[in-house]
Amino acid sequence: MKKALSIFANVLAWIVLIFALLITIMVFSSSKNNGVAHLFGYMPMAVESDSMKPTFKQGDLIICKEIDDFNSIKENDVITFWTTIDGQRVKNTHRIVEVLNDDGIVKYVTKGDNNPVKDTDVISQGAVIGEWTDVKLPFIGRVMDFLRTKTGFFICIVIPMAIFFLFELYKFIATIIEAKRPEPAELDEEEIKRRAIEEYLAAQKQSGSAAEKVEAAAEKAEAKAEAAAEKAEALAEAAETAAAEETKAE
């Protein structure tokens, strides 16, 4: 049971560490890429509005990927791109409803699934961040947003990593202490044989002594029985003699 708990603790600690490292990579990469986190070519993004509902909604986490070949992008694909809303440059994820080609310059007309009209701005290929992979994780977007804050990063990343390293340090110290414990002296083969012979002889001696005691008790009992028989015979002879003398007297 103790071993199983130790294995479970180790696995859980490594899972926490890996998760913390992934989140750390995403947080730092997003800070270096205008808020876009990169992880092996994929980009997790928190949905910030319901413009694409019911495909995905605010608070969900969607996974986009970098586009290697823009010729593969076609109508009805969902892309994430940079756009300007209320004077601010922000990320947006909408569906392509039309592909425009003006003398080799390709642009995209987009629209949110939940919006009644198309987007005002036409999106150039240079503004495209990535393509949605059809993967969404409900409500995880809110978690990601929290992890990007200082409080969330400290609670969910710094503290678990500190606990992990303290746990590993405890294991390391325990291993060193265990290694320094003196090992019991090992007996050589001749010593083991000698002790085995002594134990065997002692057992044989005890067995012989017990047999002698039993034999002596048996002889003693036999002697008592013979003495009792002789006494009984003597009494019988005396009684017989007395009876004979009494008969003569009459």
Q: Which two tokens stand for residue 59?
A: 């608070």
User: DSSP per residue over 177-188, as a string?
Assistant: HHHHSPPPPPPP
List phi, psi (to 5°) of 51: -65, -20
When pLDDT is averaged across residues 8-30 and rounded to a whole number, the result is 71
pLDDT in tens, 68-121: 888 889 999 999 999 988 888 888 999 999 999 888 899 999 999 999 999 999
- Are 79 and 110 in contact by the 8 Å Cβ rule? The answer is yes
Predicted confidence at residue 30, as pLDDT, reads: 60
Sign of the Cα pseudo-torsion (220, 221, 222, 226, in order): positive
Task: Write the CB contacts of 131 (distance below 8 Å, at least 6 apart in sequence).
Answer: 64, 65, 67, 73, 77, 78, 79, 80
The predicted-structure confidence for 165-185, as pLDDT tens digits, reads as follows 888 888 888 888 888 776 555
Long-range CB pairs of 167-171, under 8 A, 24+ apart, other chains included = 167/9, 167/13, 168/13
CA angle 195, 197, 200 (to 5 degrees): 110
Range scoring the smallest mean pLDDT among 21-35, 57-71, 119-133, 136-150: 21-35
99 DSSP β-pair partners: 108
| Helix, strand, coil fractions of the chain, as percent rounded to 5 | 55, 20, 25
Give the pLDDT of residue 26: 67
Poorest-pLDDT segment among 38-47, 67-76, 93-102, 143-152: 143-152
Q: Which residue has the tokens 């048996």?
A: 218
pLDDT tier for residue 31 given thresholds of 50, 70 and 90: low
Return the pLDDT at 225.
Answer: 66
**Region 188-202 average pLDDT:** 76
Mean pLDDT confidence for 202-223: 68
Q: What is the pLDDT of residue 176?
A: 87
Looking at residue 214, its pLDDT comes to: 60
Which single residue is written with the structure tokens 């605010």? 58
User: Can you give the pLDDT at residue 218?
Assistant: 65
Given a contact cutoff of 8 angstroms between Cβ atoms, the answer to whether 47 and 61 are in contact is yes
Tokens coding 69: 């070949």
